[in-house]
């Protein structure tokens, strides 16, 4: 017999009318950059309604259910294919004990609880970083950081991996989810770094984190993941569903560009002077060339790209009237900050470009 069937059925119907952000929800954040933006978003989403850890299974049955009414388990799912096993939202599929994959599912802290000190509220039950996942895979992931693996020591049935990290800056053991869900986990981490910004004095931290903030190697990797795996309808629906329960939202699902505005290369450029402005790039994303309408900088200006790892790149460009055309064909996929500055003053302008 399905648990809480009547409640689940009601909420599934309500799923068709889930709200978007209320009018004005993010007004205090627009136009800000860097730490100022992170602080503004923190003030918007803090003090959420905290639920009990025991309530998670009930809410998962609304926020993490697939169209075929099975558990949406990102550690076993194969988007567009046939997952090796599935679970139902019934008490008999909940862990319990397990001996291998497919035995049961439980509640995965994608941000391990040991990183913030254990069973401490509200982090312990914050749904924006908790997901239903196969118990055995969850156990294999343990509290290892997320990362990218070059040679795996263990691989799950859907292709998630355990092994030494190949991303520059860290070489320890990491868990790598499949590509289709890397952006989901990245945006969960951006949420945690913002929701608990300045509230993390007692957090233990990890090889991936300092308190609630990502270490430089992890931050660069998560920015890359969020670009390569953009926001999906699954995340939008889940964000709306959690909003009904916790009464706060994940800003990085509603406005994905904010991750780069806070932590991306050149994110603090607006602090250089009061003359700093954001310029619009078109098309964006761009594969071959992009264009920017230039401000009046005279002839004394320079343009550079900054990659997520901090590397500075000076691509070929030309100006016709006030339109700057930049060749981006040779750029690797990722997100770049474009910085245009006047070489004879402190005026600085910036833009963000996504290279798919």
Distance in angstroms (rounded) separating the CA atoms of residues 213 and 219: 9
User: Above 70 in pLDDT, residue 6?
Assistant: no
Q: What is the pLDDT of residues 224-243, one digit of tens each?
A: 899 889 999 999 999 999 99
- The string of DSSP codes covering 261-318 is HHHSTTTTGGGS-TT-EE--EESSS-SSEEEEE--S-TT-EEEEEE-TTS-EE---EE
- Using the predicted structure, report yes or no on whether residue 108 has a pLDDT greater than 90: yes
Beta strand spans in the chain (E):
105-109, 130-134, 149-155, 161-165, 173-176, 209-210, 213-214, 277-278, 281-282, 289-293, 301-306, 312-313, 317-320, 323-327, 334-342, 348-355
Distance CA 90, CA 238 (A): 20
Domain 271-355 belongs in CATH node 2.130.10.10: no
Q: Cis check for the bond before 63: say yes or no (omega within 30 of 0).
A: no
Reference 352, options 295, 309, 310, 292; nearest CA is: 292
Per the prediction, the chain carries an average pLDDT of: 88
In this prediction, residue 307 carries a pLDDT of 80
| Strand order through the sheet with 161-165 | 149-155, 161-165, 173-176
> Do 48 and 126 meet the contact criterion of CB atoms below 8 Å apart?
yes
The pLDDT of residue 82 is 94
Task: Quickly state the pLDDT bin for 266 (edges 50, 70, 90).
Answer: low
Contact by Cβ (8 Å): 335, 352:
yes
What's the mean pLDDT in 132-148? Answer: 98
pLDDT of 47: 97
**Contacts made by residues 23-27, CB under 8 angstroms, sequence distance 24+:** 25/249, 26/251, 26/254, 26/255
Q: What is the pLDDT of residues 45-103, one digit of tens each?
A: 999 999 999 999 999 999 999 999 999 999 999 999 999 999 999 999 999 999 999 99
Pick the closest to residue 137 from 103, 165, 101 (CA basis).
Answer: 101
Numbered ranges of CATH 2.60.40.10 in the chain: 271-355
Q: What pLDDT band is residue 296 in, cutting at 50, 70 and 90? A: low
Residue 320 scores a pLDDT above 70:
yes
Lowest model confidence (mean pLDDT) among 112-121, 149-158, 173-182, 275-284: 275-284
Length of the chain: 356
Q: How many other CB atoms sit within 10 Å of the CB of residue 48?
A: 18
> pLDDT (tens digit, 9 = 90+) per residue, 7-46?
443 344 344 444 689 999 999 999 888 899 999 999 999 9
**147 touches 221 (CB < 8 A):** yes
pLDDT of residue 55: 97
Q: Are 199 and 117 in contact (CB under 8 A)?
A: no
- Give CA–CA dist 121/315, Å, rounded: 48
Query: DSSP state, 236?
Result: H
Residue 4 has pLDDT above 60, yes or no: no
């Amino acid at each position: 017999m399905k648990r809480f069937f009547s409640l689940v059925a009601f909420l599934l119907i309500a799923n068709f009318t889930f709200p978007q952000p209320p009018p004005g929800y993010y007004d205090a954040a627009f136009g800000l950059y860097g730490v100022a933006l992170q602080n503004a978003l923190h003030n918007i989403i803090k003090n959420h309604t905290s639920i009990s850890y025991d309530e998670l299974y009930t809410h998962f049955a609304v926020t993490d259910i697939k169209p075929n009414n099975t558990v949406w388990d990102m550690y076993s799912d194969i988007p567009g294919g046939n997952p090796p096993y599935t679970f139902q939202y019934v008490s008999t599929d909940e862990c319990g004990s397990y001996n291998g994959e497919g035995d049961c599912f439980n509640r995965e802290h994608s941000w391990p609880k040991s990183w913030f000190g254990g069973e401490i509220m509200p982090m312990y039950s914050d749904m924006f970083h908790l997901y239903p996942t196969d118990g055995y895979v969850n156990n294999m992931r343990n509290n290892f950081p997320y990362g990218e693996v070059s040679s795996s020591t263990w691989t799950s049935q859907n292709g998630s991996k355990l092994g030494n990290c190949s991303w520059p800056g860290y070489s320890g053991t990491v868990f790598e989810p499949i590509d289709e869900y890397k952006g989901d986990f990245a945006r969960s981490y951006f949420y945690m770094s913002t929701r608990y910004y300045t509230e993390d004095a007692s957090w233990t931290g990890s090889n991936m984190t300092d308190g609630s903030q990502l270490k430089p190697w992890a931050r660069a990797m998560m920015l890359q993941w969020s670009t390569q795996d953009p926001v999906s309808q699954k995340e939008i629906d889940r964000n709306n569903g959690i909003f009904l329960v916790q009464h706060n939202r994940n800003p990085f699902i509603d406005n994905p560009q904010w991750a780069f505005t806070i932590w991306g290369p050149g994110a603090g450029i607006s602090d250089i002077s009061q003359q700093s402005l954001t310029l619009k790039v078109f098309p964006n994303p761009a594969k071959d060339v992009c264009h920017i309408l230039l401000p009046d900088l005279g002839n004394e200006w320079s343009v550079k790209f900054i990659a997520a790892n901090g590397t500075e790149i000076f691509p070929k460009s030309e100006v016709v009237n006030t339109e700057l055309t930049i060749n981006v064909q040779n750029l690797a996929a990722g997100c770049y900050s474009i910085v245009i500055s006047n070489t004879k003053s402190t005026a600085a302008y910036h833009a963000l470009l996504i290279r798919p």
